[in-house]
Amino acid sequence: MKCLVTGGAGYIGSIAVKELITKKHEVIVVDNLSKGIKKLVNKKAKFYKLDLTNYKSLSKVFQKHKPEIVMHFAGYKAVEESMQNPEKYSDNVIGTANLLKCMNENKTKKIIYSSTAAVYKPHNKTVTETDELEPNNYYGETKRICEQMILWFSKIYGIKYTIFRYFNVIGDGGLNYIDPEATNVLPIIMEVVMNKRPELQIFGTNYPTRDGTCIRDYIDVIDLVDAHIKSLNKANNEIINLATNSGTSVKELVSEVEKALNITVPKKNKGRRAGDPPTLVASNKKAQKLLKWTPKISLKKSILATYKAYN
């Protein structure tokens, strides 16, 4: 299949590109390299450095390659930054609008879209796909708007979609991606382990959870990419959570790292970070059923893979 991958030089996209090439698909990558790393893009993929907000350039790529399917990973994803610089995050919407226009103009059949747990109205029960949406930050809102645009383009033009709502993605797919501006907890812990930061700040220890710290559903990036590959010809017009159905608190994550690496991680209890829901854990029943997919990689394995990437 001829597949255009946006954000194909990034953390998740670069692994998806590698897997697509392994499975003999023809791959075209577009990435603005704001956080992507060019050398991670598989040499067999055609690469274009461009920003999705540039409709003219994007349109040329579509006209030249006529992709049959799009995997859309590109987007800004830091929650806190989205509340300080919303203009930047509006590009998530503009880029997706341009992409859908190009898809329609060039008869691209399907989009596989990276959405997020941040579209849901926070609650403490296991999240299912039919739960109420109410993002509490602008990042989540841009993703919800993009989801809605995709649904409308599907309704009006018949473009097929699989929308994946990611929970907390961790691990490494063998390409050793290092986040140049780490904001997520495991990369930050690794920076502490590598002496690039003095300590891990634990954001909030008085949440209504088993040990007072936030609980998240950590899913390995290899399992996540596997679901994307499986959705190339399955799960059309579906919205699907990608998660493990099990939660780990920040304190539990730190102690898993300490056990796995046989070290002590310097840490300090801090106040809550604005906008953090206490618990985010999702059911993955729908993914299991529709994709014949199940996450296979343990938390320990994800930690060891991330550690290897940092070494």
Is 276 an interacting residue with respect to ligand UDP (CB under 6 A)?
Answer: yes
Is 21 an interacting residue with respect to ligand UDP (CB under 6 A)?
Answer: no
Is 273 an interacting residue with respect to ligand UDP (CB under 6 A)?
Answer: yes
Total residues contacting ligand UDP by CB under 6 A comes to: 15
Q: 17, 28, 112, 214: which one contacts ligand UDP (CB under 6 A)?
A: 214
Q: How far is the CB of 202 from ligand UDP (least distance, A)?
A: 5
Which span (14-22, 43-51, 197-205, 234-242) binds ligand UDP, by CB under 6 A?
Answer: 197-205
157 is catalytic: no
Is 216 an interacting residue with respect to ligand UDP (CB under 6 A)?
Answer: yes
Residues 222-261 that bind ligand UDP (CB under 6 A): 250
Is 210 an interacting residue with respect to ligand UDP (CB under 6 A)?
Answer: no
* Residue 89 identity (one-letter amino acid): Y
Residues 120-159 that bind ligand UDP (CB under 6 A): none
Q: How far is the CB of 117 from ligand UDP (least distance, A)?
A: 7
The three state secondary structure string of the chain is CEEEEECCCCCCHHHHHHHHHHCCCEEEEEECCCCCCHHHCCCCCEEEECCCCCHHHHHHHHHHHCCCEEEECCCCCCHHHHHHCHHHHHHHHHHHHHHHHHHHHCCCCEEEEEEEHHHECCCCCCECCCCCECCCCHHHHHHHHHHHHHHHHHHHHCCEEEEEEECEEECCCCCCCCCCCCCCHHHHHHHHHCCCCCCEEEECCCCCCCCCCCEECEEEHHHHHHHHHHHHHCCCCEEEEECCCCCEEHHHHHHHHHHHHCCCCCEEEECCCCCCCCEECECCHHHHHHHCCCCCCCHHHHHHHHHHHCC
The three state secondary structure string of 25-44 is CEEEEEECCCCCCHHHCCCC
Q: 106, 136, 201, 205: which one contacts ligand UDP (CB under 6 A)?
A: 201
Nearer to ligand UDP, 86 or 277 (CB): 277
In the shown chain, the binding pattern of residues 68 to 87 toward ligand UDP, with x for contact by CB under 6 A and - for none, equals -----------x--------
Q: How far is the CB of 145 from ligand UDP (least distance, A)?
A: 19
Q: How far is the CB of 214 from ligand UDP (least distance, A)?
A: 3
User: Which residue is at the shortest CB distance from ligand UDP?
Assistant: 214
> Which residue among 139, 161, 177, 207 is the active-site one?
139
Q: Footprint of ligand UDP on this chain (CB under 6 A)?
A: 79, 168, 183-185, 188, 200-203, 214, 216, 250, 273, 276
Question: Which residues carry out catalysis?
Answer: 139
